[in-house]
Amino acid sequence: MKSVIICYFSGTGNTFKIVNEYVRFFKKKDYEVTLHNMDEGTISYNLCDFDLFGIAYPIHAFNAPSNVLKFAQSIPSLPKKTKKTYFIIKTSGEPLKLNNMSSVKLQSILKKKGYILTNEYHYCMPYNILFRHTNNQAYQMWQMAVNVIPLDARDILEKKEVKLSNFPFKRCLALIFRIEHWGARLNGKHYKVSDQCLKCGRCIQHCPTHNITLENGNFKFGNHCLMCMRCSFHCPANAIQIGLFNKWKVNGAYTFHHYDENEIQTHQKYCKKAYQKYFEKNQKRIEAAKK
Ligand SMILES: Cc1cc2nc3c(=O)[nH]c(=O)nc-3n(C[C@H](O)[C@H](O)[C@H](O)COP(=O)(O)O)c2cc1C
């Protein structure tokens, strides 16, 4: 039986949702699928034992989150002259081309270890910071992803290489934006919990870096925050204030499952052209595949 391993990080669930669509596809094609959640740290598997290897993450400040890079650093190097191919799956809130550079550092870490990127795919999923997409927008993004993932995954199986387009100075730009990795740690120290807190402990339990503790009834936030938003996004009482970025906080899961004619549309002009291009390009692919 052929096999695939996907190592993923997902702060608030979008990337995991996308990964699960890949899982569904690969299983239909009779692949044995192994998922490794980066929350659990390094892998004990030998990646060469799998026919296919993928990495999935949400884009943070046009980069991969710091824990994803740390995870890549922890992957053992391949023996000299051995090469292994891999694919990347990533999600982000807007479809700007700048997001294409998010994997430059990840690729360079893995290249030094003998891993060669062959396929890279980017899916728009609703923001978990900045502003709340409407449920209709979330629904549209999700439907697009569901329809296009089988085409992308088929390319991987058929060994048809697909790379995202390049642009000048991407290494430099990505490096500048990686200041977010330090920013997240600094800002994370300033998270606060309001009186609305239910003391359910969900934030403590699910923080990927175990950065939240409860000491003498008071919440303490350490300096390992990734700003993945898991704590504040899923807080049932919306009680977590996210420091300097509190105005950009998004709380509560999206409904991905229906289109509501009466829902009030917000931020309609935001990145309008980029979204249009994203939807049109993917729609064309879906229609071409039907022929
Ligand atoms: C700290 C942070 C930075 C982000 N930066 C970007 C960005 O540069 N570009 C973008 O399109 N989306 C950005 N997003 C939005 C997420 O990439 C998007 O909502 C993603 O689907 C979240 O996936 P997850 O639920 O798997 O964590 C950012 C989110 C966070 C929390």
- 84-94 confidence digits (pLDDT tens): 999 999 999 99
Residues 136 and 37 in one domain: yes
**Which ligand 1 atom lies nearest to the CA of residue 11?**
27
Average pLDDT over residues 218-247: 98
Question: Residue with the nearest Cα to atom 2 of ligand 1?
Answer: 60
Please state, rounded to an integer, the average pLDDT across all residues of the chain. 97
Q: For 173, phi and psi rounded to 5 degrees?
A: -60, -45
Distance 26 CA to ligand 1 centre (A): 26
pLDDT of residue 291: 86
Q: How far is the CA of 78 from the centre of ligand 1 (A)?
A: 31
Mean pLDDT to the nearest integer, 276-290: 96
Distances (CA, A) of 194 to 73, 132, 204, 238, 282: 37, 21, 15, 9, 43
pLDDT tens, position by position, 152-197: 999 999 999 999 998 889 999 999 999 999 999 999 999 999 999 9
Q: Which domain holds residue 149?
A: 3-175
Using the 8-state DSSP alphabet, how is residue 152 labeled?
Answer: H
Instruction: Report angle CA 178, 183, 186 to the nearest 5 degrees.
Output: 150
Residues 33 and 160 in one domain: yes
What sign results for the dihedral spanned by CA atoms 148, 161, 38, 95?
negative
- Per DSSP, the three-state class of 126 is coil
For residue 258, pLDDT over 90 is answered with: no
19 pLDDT above the threshold of 90: yes
Contact status, residue 220 vs residue 212, Cβ threshold 8 Å: yes
88, 229: one domain: no
Residue 219 lies in a domain: yes
229 and 168, same domain (yes or no): no
At a CB cut-off of 8 Å and minimum separation 6, what does 232 contact?
A: 191, 203, 238, 240, 241, 242, 249, 251
Asked if residue 222 and residue 145 are part of one domain, the reply reads: no
Edge-first strand order for the sheet with 84-92 is: 32-37, 3-8, 52-58, 84-92, 115-124
Is residue 100 domain-shared with residue 218, that is, in the same domain? no
Residues with CB under 6 A from ligand 1: 10-15, 58-62, 91-94, 99, 125, 127-129, 227-229
Q: Are residues 42 and 128 in the same domain?
A: yes
Q: Which two tokens stand for residue 211?
A: 């950065």
Instruction: Point out the ligand 1 atom lying closest to the alpha carbon of residue 13.
Output: 25
Distance CA 237, CA 216 (A): 21
Q: Which pTM was predicted?
A: 0.97
Is 46's pLDDT higher than 90?
A: yes
- Closest-CA residue, ligand 1 atom 30, reads 60
